[in-house]
Amino acid sequence: MPVTTFDFGERYTYQNGFGSYLETEVFQGALPIGQNSPQKPPYGLYAEKLSGTAFTAPRHENKQSWLYRVLPACAHPPFASTADGPFKSDKPTDPAKLEYIPNQLRWDPFDHDDQTDFVSGLHLVAGAGDPTLKQGIGMYIYAAGKSMAENSAFYSADGDLLIVAQDGVLDIRTELGWLLVRPMEICVIPRGIKYQVHLPSGPVRGYALELYQGHFALPELGPIGSNCLANARDFQAPVACYSEDFGPTASEGSTAYTITVKFNNSLFQTKQAHTPFDVVAWHGNYYPYKYDLGRFNTIGSISYDHPDPSIFTVLSAPSDHPGTAVADFVIFPPRWLVAENTFRPPWYHRNTMSEFMGLIAGEYDAKKGGQGGFMPGGASLHNVMSGHGPDAKSFEGASNAELKPALVGKGSCAFMFESCLMVGVTEWGLKMCKKVQEGYSEESWGGVQVHWKKPEGVTANSHLLK
């Protein structure tokens, strides 16, 4: 069934399409016709342009939206640095103290935290690059037990945030409207867009990837054709929704709203006397969106051999080198395996890319689950050129399995953040979280058997000149 059946029902209506030029208005006539910035926008609104790329970016890459709002976003007092949050230099998630190591790493499921909201519950596990140069990525675990305050909002000036819900429901209010994000759904909140996260089902846990450069795109399909993988029509964007909480001027409202910004991996705050959620209408192609992973149209081999996992790419953030991604978001959903005379799980591998994997639900077919295994809410990291592959038990099972058509991963979904960058790990990821499986490598591959038998009666070819 190509749609996930969710335990928590949908709350909102959406617009459909990936990278589409969309428009939405709470009141008919709020969007100006034929121009973006009239001398007097309808209903006394302010016109504000939100640019996600340089003005002169190529048309097929250009990202912008026009917002029509009660008060412009610039109407606030100066920001001040805050000691709260996970991004200060004395915190174990400090990105300036990343440790680059070649060891394979795996983490037990990360703890829930009922004392934090979404922002304070973000933990940087690994990353690379520098947001001031708009280069690199950050890989996060989030765990939260309470909603953000109604009079608060957060945005990142550092990059786009891809959120992978693993446990619990996120009800996300953005400047451009609402998104409900449940396990087996993802969402992307672009750089600069303010949002507020509510927890309607209780505590939450999940994964996130911050992209410091560019934006996510659908992967090219090449000879696959014009459909398959993630289809553009299945992505959903919010419709306009606004609040009325403001005074006669920007500084005379009755409610103080705390606005927090992540800026060069540090947090800054200001308080303003009007709601940031006052966009009555908008049009453009720069907006938050969500996607149901159950709609992914998986493809695979119907003859022999296991294809490269790139065939499971949902979203890709390309580098300046064609075919090489700063970040790919890849999933391993339920799928049929029918290849003949083939070792069907992923093969043993050393990769010029870094691979960070997580498990949303179920059990991954190439790794044992259960205590000490690869479990939902846990993760693994195989850095550049660090060998990895099926554990010993999975190898023996797949090598001796009867090769009949098999549905694998039913009720399961694993994912991977794959990057061309070598990533470092934070102190929190290595030590403070206390979730690293110290015996991961030995338990996975220490028992790999030697099956080699030197052929009898066969002359070995020499490497020496005669």
Which residue in 61, 150, 306, 443 is the catalytic one?
306
pLDDT for 244-271, tens place per residue? 999 999 999 999 999 999 999 999 999 9
CA-CA-CA-CA dihedral for 383, 377, 16, 312, to nearest 10: 40
pLDDT for 32-59, tens place per residue? 999 999 999 999 999 999 999 999 999 9
Is a pLDDT exceeding 90 seen at residue 367? no
Tokens representing residue 252 in the block: 């005379």
Q: Residue 142 and residue 124: Cα distance in Å, rounded?
A: 9
Question: Which position has the token pair 């696959």?
Answer: 224
Q: Residue 154 and residue 195: Cα distance in Å, rounded?
A: 5
Is a pLDDT exceeding 80 seen at residue 369? no
Which residue in 283, 363, 388, 418 is the catalytic one?
388
Tokens representing residue 405 in the block: 């058509």
- Check residue 388 and give its pLDDT: 94
- Check residue 85 and give its pLDDT: 63
- Binning pLDDT at 50, 70 and 90, where does residue 380 land? very high
Which residue in 175, 210, 355, 363 is the catalytic one?
355
Is 382 considered catalytic here? yes
pLDDT for 108-119, tens place per residue? 999 999 999 999
- Lowest-pLDDT range, 264-268, 286-290, 367-371? 367-371
pLDDT for 213-236, tens place per residue? 999 999 999 999 999 999 999 999
pLDDT for 54-104, tens place per residue? 999 999 999 999 999 999 999 999 999 987 666 665 566 777 789 999 999
Tokens representing residue 435 in the block: 């979730």
Is 349 considered catalytic here? yes
**Cβ contact 72:84 at 8 Å:** no
User: What pTM was estimated for this model as a whole?
Assistant: 0.96
pLDDT for 179-202, tens place per residue? 999 999 999 999 999 999 999 999
Is 61 considered catalytic here? no
pLDDT for 154-173, tens place per residue? 999 999 999 999 999 999 99
**Cβ contact 418:330 at 8 Å:** yes
Which residue in 61, 349, 396, 427 is the catalytic one?
349
Is a pLDDT exceeding 60 seen at residue 335? yes
Which residue in 112, 210, 382, 418 is the catalytic one?
382
Is 306 considered catalytic here? yes
- Check residue 207 and give its pLDDT: 98
Dihedral sign computed on CA atoms, order 62, 128, 114, 378: positive
- Check residue 217 and give its pLDDT: 97
- Check residue 83 and give its pLDDT: 72
Q: Residue 252 and residue 75: Cα distance in Å, rounded?
A: 11
- Check residue 457 and give its pLDDT: 93
User: What b/e sequence results for 295-333 when a residue is b if at least 16 CB atoms lie within 10 Å of its CB, and e otherwise?
Assistant: bbebeeeeeeeeeebeebbbbbbbbeeeeebbbbbbbbb
CB under 8 Å to 9, separation ≥6 — which residues?
Answer: none
CB under 8 Å to 1, separation ≥6 — which residues?
Answer: 294
- Check residue 86 and give its pLDDT: 66
